[in-house]
Chain A
Amino acid sequence: MKSELINALSRAEIDAIEAEITHLPDRKSAAIDALKIVQSQRGWISDDSLSAIAKLLNMSAAELDGIATFYNLIFRHPVGEQVILFCDSVSCWLMNGEKVCSKLQRTLGIQHGETTADGQYTLLPVTCLGDCDHAPAMMVGESLHHDLTVDNIEAIFK
């Protein structure tokens, strides 16, 4: 069982997860941290990764998948190099956010939930980014872009 674990998770990933567990009252409590650790290395959580993490935490894969699929920032499908989180909440909607997002979708040739053919970008909607005084707003990777218009959105991806 030990070798099976190491095949699916790297030693560094296991060490990082074990380090989280030391701060917690039980192994299961590290579930979300463990998913984030593995995702930070691999970009997403494959079925193999999910099973390996579940074993490491003494829980069933089904229970862990229930947690993984609950959270919108845990990805159970491969994503692009950078994830675009485009705000679709009310302040951005009032400031023309839908039209700007449509323009972005035409520019990149993808809809919400899709990844560009070159594997560079995945587009997802997100709840209010807390940047409403500069609506519409989106995050590309860790960078916040705001005051978006149908005229300036294209240049961000050139």
Chain B
Amino acid sequence: MTQSPLTRNIQGNGPTDILAYEASGGYLAARDNIGKADPADLLQLIKDSNLLGRGGAGFPTGMKWSFVPPADGNGHRYLVANADEMEPGTFKDRLIMENDPHQLIEGMLLSAYTLAADVGYIFIRAEYHLAIARLRSAISEAEQKCYLGDRILGSKYSFHLQVHISAGRYICGEETALLNSLEGKRATPRAKPPFPQVSGLWGRPTIVNNVETLCNIPHIVNHGANWFKSLGKGDNAGTKLFGASGRVKNPGCWELPMGTSIREILEVHAGGMQDGYMLKGFLPGGASTDFLTPDHLDLPMEYEAIQKAGSRMGTGLMVVLDDRACPVGMIANLEKFFARESCGFCTPCREGLPWVQGILDKIEAGHGQAADLEVLERQALFIGAIGNTHCAHAPGAMEPLVSGLKYFRSEFEQHIHDGRCPYAGES
């Protein structure tokens, strides 16, 4: 039995069509379950599997699904795949959608059946042209074989799936902003409650799951909760798409057991640092996760372990800071991104992030003052506090700043003392 279920069809020789997907065991779970299995049993299976959402937050998928009210027959129920991959440093969902699009379709079909959803959307960023073309072609193949559409595989169950191409903006990855965008509105996150499970798309029950999360479903249905749990090395179940970018020898994305050590990912799979560069720190899972340092290399990539170390596993795709890149410059780059991508609805985010960005730019340009670091720390408290804003954008933005001030404080102070960036002219 394959231990790399998500990438078993991905060998770099083009996309997997429906025949190749079926030949590798694809749609077996659909044929065995659609119209036959009790959705309540499937929900219990997903709960038992301990699958945690792969989009960054790590929320238990089964629990998320369990908040959907029973079908009332009064209108549509929606399942949305969040394919709006835009977290800086993250390039995992594109790998699956371009190379094995049927895996996402089957994952959505089984999930929708479990949730009694009749309409599905794949909300995908517009820049993913190849993934869009391959998903559309795969959907049409699946419709021809009766895996999608009315009365699927001769059952009474119907599920219609379509690709929705976004018009841009990082904030669309936030699930309630995504729903507003699908409704044709500005993508401002909604205040919660109500949660989307109860009142989502056009006020109807809606589940939004990350692409990688949904792709795990067929394998759990085929092989069971215990098999899925056994794939992880430690506390977390399953495999995960991990990766690294920055000055490593072999940047890339690999499917590895949950709990694989950071050292193995960076030194074995990513091949260690490029010659002439040393590891200074890294963001474990995208722009909105706290810096960790070489002291943390032996931690397992698991939600709790990374959280205990003061960060978050996030998307699991690491961004590596080397010793010849300026940490202040890197944090200024991150905060410029967060400031630009704020939707502008909540004041601490709209006003606070550009303020922080301005101070960081000033320090990097050699015009910083000692008091600037206190202002940054105070701002981080206001902007980063959960509850001051509708969504996690602003708190996420503060994670690399607060941890950067902790681990690289002497570098901030040196910029201010010397009146210049000590790395100017490097790289």
Contacts and interface: CB of A to CB of B under 8 A. Distances in A.
Contact of B168 (A72, A93, A96): A72
Given A25-B202, A74-B168, A127-B88, A93 B184 contact: no
A35 B341 CA distance: 21
B317 A132 contact: yes
B320 A28 contact: no
Given A70-B186, A94-B319, A127-B88, A32 B167 contact: yes
A126 interface: yes
A31 interface: yes
A23 B90 CA distance: 33
Contacts of A96: 427
B38 interface: no
B330 A73 contact: no
Interface stretch (B43-51, B137-145, B245-253, B375-383): B245-253
A124 B334 CA distance: 18
Interface in B212-253: 243, 245-247, 251-253
A129 B253 CA distance: 15
Contacts of A32: 167, 181, 184
Contacts of B167: 32, 35-36, 71-74
Interface in B94-115: 94
B299 interface: no
Given A25-B202, A85-B127, A94-B321, A131 B91 contact: yes
Chain B interface size, as a band, is: 35 or more
Interface string B333-357: 1101100110100000000000000
A130 B333 CA distance: 17
A130 B186 contact: no
B287 interface: yes
A131 B204 CA distance: 35
Nearest to A94: B246
A120 interface: no
Interface string B157-186: 000000001111110000000000101111
A35 B166 CA distance: 12
Contact of A94 (B93, B185, B187, B322): B322
Contacts of B169: 70-72
A142 interface: yes
B88 A95 contact: no
Interface residues of A, number: 38
A91 interface: yes
B272 to A, nearest CB: 15
Contacts of A127: 86, 88, 170, 337, 340-341
B290 interface: no
Contact of B247 (A28, A31, A95, A131): A95
A153 to B, nearest CB: 16
A49 to B, nearest CB: 15
Contacts of A128: 86-90, 287
A135 B322 CA distance: 15
A42 to B, nearest CB: 15
Given A36-B167, A72-B168, 16 more contacts: A29-B202, A31-B185, A71-B167, A73-B166, A89-B89, A89-B287, A89-B337, A90-B89, A93-B333, A94-B322, A95-B247, A126-B127, A130-B128, A133-B245, A133-B251, A142-B129
Interface of B: 85-91, 93-94, 125-129, 165-170, 181, 183-187, 202, 243, 245-247, 251-253, 283, 287, 317, 319-322, 325, 329-330, 333-334, 336-337, 340-341, 343, 427
Top 6 nearest A-B pairs by Cβ distance?
A: A132-B245, A73-B168, A71-B167, A89-B88, A133-B251, A31-B184
